Each structure stands twice: as C-alpha cells, then as structure tokens.
C-alpha cells in the first residue's frame, strides 16, 4: 500500500479492489485508516458492516492495538495478516557503497514484459506477503499480481535497474515519483547475486534517479533482512500498519456452512 494512503490521506477510505477481485475470484474491498486520520474504532466497524465483499482487507495504524479484539469478535472471521513497516530517507543522505567497476545502474524507461515477469518471479517468488495468511488467496496468483503491478509501474514511470558487466539485470526497483517523495514499490536482487552487496548499489541508483527530496519504502514486518539493509543504508522506520483480512463466514476451509 502506498505512502500517501498509509500516512498522509488523513481519512478512512473504503474502495472495491477490482484487480484483486478479478485475480482471486472473490470480491475484495480495501478499508484503510491513514496515520493522520484520527479515525475511531466505531467508524471502522461501520465501514466493515457496510461492505458486501467476500473479503475486507483492513489496514490500520499499529498503535491502535486494542482494535483487533473487536474485529475478532465481529460477524466476519478475522485473519491477522502481518504488518507493513514504512521507512524514510532524505535524498542525498544515504550511505552509498563504493562504485563497482564495470557495473551500470540507472532509470530505464522500457523493459521487456517477459523479462520483468522473470525478474519479479525470481526475486519475490518466496516473499511472504499478506495474501499468504488467507486460504482464499492462491500464492501463485498473488505472485502474478506482483508481476502485473511491476509491468504497470514500469510502463508508467520506468524502473531503476542494476546491470553487470555483461549487461544482465542483477537488481530491479520500480518507483512512484510523487511531488514530495519517491516511493520504492518493488525492489530486490536476483537470487544468484544476493549476499554480494548489490542491494546498496540499487538504492544508490534510486537516490540518483529520485526527483523528490525523500525516499520512502515499506515491507511486511517479518521481512527483517531487507530492513537491516535499509538501516545500514540510512533509512529510518516511521510508521507501522497492521493488516487484517475480514472474511464472510462460511468461505474459509473447515468453517461451518462451507459447501463441499
């Protein structure tokens, strides 16, 4: 979920998710509480009650730790689906690694769709995203969603790419260039190059390509490895959202009322 919706929207939003509904074959609404909203639990419960979707993907500030008890005792089945942690860095303040001889990194406007699919599949195939918490969401389809998201993002704004001396792509970062921040959406190093310091060079290239004064990025709370890399580079954590899937009764495997 994007930086604006998570921190700056200043409101509760409830919208149908057409991409997810089409992909997974169940209707999905997304209800999001911005960090700056001041929303009360009663407003959240009302928004959930109004939804007719099979699944409501609710995200709200982790400081509202007491909300889950009310969600868990509601009419829908509540599945805790990890958290999202947001990090930020002023552009130009990153702890950049020394340049790599023969390597090249920068913003590329056009990348072949098949290559994008291969890269995202390799990098994020084992990523434990929030869909993994819900048996209604097939993990393979979730990965296809990340590939589609990457293709859309690259078609719109390009991607920052790290290439080796043989011009092979070693790392990729899709970005959203907004007025006051540049958000790194999907970023990673191909498995064969992981553990060799490539990620820091990718982040440095994103800094160089940024059109704003701040870089922002987020990941699932359990993904501590990449967060250590962000901390080494100079990013600081600024906000945490909890993710809860609220499922219509009878849809989950093993629940009473589910059709065989």
What DSSP string describes the chain? --HIIIIIS-SEEEEE-HHHHHHHSS-EEEEEE-TTS---HHHHHHHHHH--SSEEEEEEETT-TTHHHHHHTSSSEEEEEEEEEEEEEETT-S-PPPPPTT-EEEEES---HHHHHHHHHHHHTT---GGGG-TTS-HHHHHHHHHHHHHHHHHHH-EEEEE-TT--EEEEEEEEE-SS-EEEEEEEE-GGGTTTTHHHHHHHHHHHH--SSEEEEEEETT-HHHHHHHHHHT-EEEEEEEEEEEE-TT-STT-TT---
What pLDDT, in 10s, does the model give residues 225-234? 999 999 999 9
Question: Do strands 214-220 and 159-163 pair parallel, antiparallel, or not at all (unpaired)?
Answer: unpaired
Q: What is the mean pLDDT of residues 209-236?
A: 97
Predicted pLDDT at 178: 83
Predicted pLDDT at 260: 40
Question: Do strands 182-189 and 214-220 pair parallel, antiparallel, or not at all (unpaired)?
Answer: parallel
Neighbours of 40 (CB within 10 A): 13
Q: What is the mean pLDDT of residues 209-224?
A: 96
What pLDDT, in 10s, does the model give residues 17-32? 999 999 999 999 999 9
pTM of the model: 0.94
Mean pLDDT over all residues of the chain? 95
Strand partners, 214: 90
Closest CA to 69 of 85, 59, 80: 80
Question: Residue 259: which pLDDT band, with cuts at 50, 70 and 90?
Answer: low
Q: Using CA atoms, how far apart are residues 163 and 75, in angstroms rounded to an integer?
A: 51
Question: Residue 254: which pLDDT band, with cuts at 50, 70 and 90?
Answer: confident
- The two tokens of residue 147 are 């590939």
Ranges 177-181, 188-192, 212-216, 253-257: which has the least confidence: 253-257
Predicted pLDDT at 179: 81
Q: Using CA atoms, how far apart are residues 174 and 2, in angstroms rounded to an integer?
A: 13
What pLDDT, in 10s, does the model give residues 119-157? 999 999 999 999 999 999 999 999 999 999 999 999 999
With tokens 């899709």, the residue in question is: 174
For the cut 70, the answer to whether the pLDDT of residue 15 exceeds it is yes
């Amino acid at each position: 979920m994007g930086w604006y919706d998570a921190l700056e929207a200043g409101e509760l939003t409830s919208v149908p998710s057409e991409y997810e509904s089409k992909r997974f074959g169940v209707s999905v609404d997304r209800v999001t509480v911005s960090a700056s909203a001041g929303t009360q639990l009663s407003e959240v419960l009302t928004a959930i009650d109004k939804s007719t979707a099979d699944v409501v993907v609710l995200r709200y500030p982790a400081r509202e730790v007491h909300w889950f008890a009310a969600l868990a005792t509601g009419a829908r089945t509540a599945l805790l689906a990890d958290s999202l942690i947001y990090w930020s860095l002023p552009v130009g303040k990153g702890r950049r690694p020394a340049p790599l001889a023969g390597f090249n990194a920068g913003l590329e406007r056009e990348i072949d769709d098949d290559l994008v699919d291969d890269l995202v599949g390799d990098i994020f195939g084992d990523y434990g995203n929030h869909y993994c918490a819900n048996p209604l969401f097939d993990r393979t389809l979730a990965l296809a969603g990340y590939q589609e998201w990457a293709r859309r993002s690259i078609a719109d704004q390009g991607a920052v790419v790290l290439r080796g001396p043989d011009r092979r792509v070693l790392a990729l970062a899709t970005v959203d260039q907004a007025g006051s921040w540049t958000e790194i959406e999907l970023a990673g190093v191909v498995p064969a190059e992981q553990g060799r310091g490539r990620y820091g060079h990718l982040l440095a290239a994103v800094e160089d390509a940024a059109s704003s004064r701040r870089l922002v990025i987020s990941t699932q709370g359990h993904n501590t490895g990449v967060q250590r890399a962000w901390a080494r580079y100079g990013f600081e954590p600024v906000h945490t959202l909890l993710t809860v899937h609220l499922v219509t009764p009878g849809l989950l495997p093993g629940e009473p009322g589910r059709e065989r």
